[in-house]
Amino acid sequence: MNNNSLKKSAMVLAITSTLGVSMGANAAVELYGEDGTSFSVDGYFNAFYVSRDDDVADTRDTRIKMGFLPNTIGFNFSKEMGNLTLGGRSSFWTTINDSLDSPTDTAIDVRQFYATVDGSFGQVLIGKDFGLYARSNIFLDEILMGFGSPGVAGGVSFGNIRAGYPYATPSAQITYRSPEMSGFNIAVGALDPADTVTGVNDENSAPRIESEITYNADLNSVALTAWLNGRYQSSSNGTSNIDSSGVGYGLKGSVAGFTLAASGFTSKGDSPVLVVNEPLTEDKADGFLVQGSYAFGANRVVLSYGETDAEILDLETESTTIGFFHDVNSHFKLVAEYNMYEDKNRTSGVTTTDTDTIALGAIVTF
């Protein structure tokens, strides 16, 4: 896989998938709540003034774009049925970055459309949702609501995707989540597999398997979160076989306004950008992300650094971000961010991207 494959993946990412939060966990507006039945709506809106210097192209580009997270509206359903609780979520994600490419035809995609069955046994989810592999690596990113590293020209920003972690690509799945057990939560899912080989006899004889174990604790006033997630699948075309695997991990601790976090991943035969149907090799990739933040009053300052080294893409990247977040109130946030991003061809050592980005944004949630 080379940089052309990366560009292809980037285009898919720009059209169908920028990372989002599970908005159902936010403070949604309840529209109905009687007789064990509830229906609520949540939303996330943002725009950034973005100025970028590209040293390789020797250009400066100024845009009005969305941040790492797209604009989103979600609908949540829940109904108690005896010993079971039936639930569901549908969320719609839209970009504002295509405002002049297609002025009245803004792209909308669906990244969550699933039902859940909860009981004493835990939860079963059926439908489309974010994957389990690299899930906490992204959802616990300190600049999740910022801008991060650049994506393709005119497209979405990548946050720390391909500069510290891969994307937890939304996929059709059947996933089981255990009840909480002394701070531990376990999730295991069968996901729609990616076609990683070419030929008329392409075969995926088993689904993609993903899993995640998380641990949460409060140890002497230190809020601690640790996680371990993974992915495995195999594809064949009768003459060749590609085994894809990946492991993600991380640790995050917070005390007295300070937060330190470190995460990483290692994979083989698996793209460090996102899951798509494309031929791969069994080359390796790995990366890490280290972050520190300090919250004081309504403000939070973040320093973030990430790297990815990908044989499979013949690519090396690094991204440094300094961010400032200010809560005007519980539903309105202002963001100022400076990012330095560089990638180069792993074999030749030639720098292909070298950018400095200033992003000033506003976020409204409900």
pTM: 0.90
The DSSP output letter for 28 is P
Length of the chain: 366
For the chain, 366 residues long, give each residue's pLDDT as a single digit of tens: 454 444 444 434 433 333 344 443 456 899 999 999 999 999 999 999 999 999 998 999 899 999 999 999 999 999 999 999 999 999 999 888 877 777 777 778 899 999 999 999 999 999 999 999 999 999 999 999 999 998 765 567 999 999 999 999 999 999 999 999 999 999 999 999 998 887 767 788 899 999 999 999 999 899 999 999 999 999 988 788 899 999 999 999 999 999 999 999 999 999 999 998 888 999 999 999 999 999 999 999 999 999 999 999 999 999 999 999 999 999 999 999 999 999 999 999 999 999 999 999 999 999
The DSSP output letter for 221 is T
SS3 label, residue 80 = strand
CA dihedral 54, 142, 334, 158 (to 10 degrees): 40
CB 162 within 8 A of CB 274: no
Give the pLDDT confidence score for residue 203 in this predicted structure. Answer: 82
State residue 258 phi and psi, 5-degree precision.
Answer: -95, 140
Q: Any idea what the Cα angle at residue 102 is, between residues 101 and 105, rounded to 5°?
A: 155
Which residues lie closer than 8 Å to 30 by C-beta, 6 or more apart? 38, 39, 40
Q: Within a 10 A sphere around the Cβ of 165, how many other Cβ atoms? A: 28
Judge: domain 3-365, CATH 3.90.950.20. no
Integer Cα distance of 314 and 346 in angstroms: 5
Integer Cα distance of 47 and 244 in angstroms: 37
Closest to 46 in 3D by CA, of 330, 329, 334 = 334
Give the pLDDT confidence score for residue 238 in this predicted structure. Answer: 78
The DSSP output letter for 182 is T
State residue 300 phi and psi, 5-degree precision.
Answer: -145, 130
Distances (CA, A) of 100 to 14, 15, 43, 95, 293: 15, 15, 24, 12, 36
Closest to 335 in 3D by CA, of 139, 146, 207 = 146
Integer Cα distance of 6 and 9 in angstroms: 5
Give the pLDDT confidence score for residue 20 in this predicted structure. Answer: 40
Rounded to a whole number of angstroms, the CA Rg of the chain reads: 20
Give the pLDDT confidence score for residue 17 in this predicted structure. Answer: 39
With 0-12 CB in 10 A as exposed, 13-18 as middle and 19+ as buried, what is 314? middle
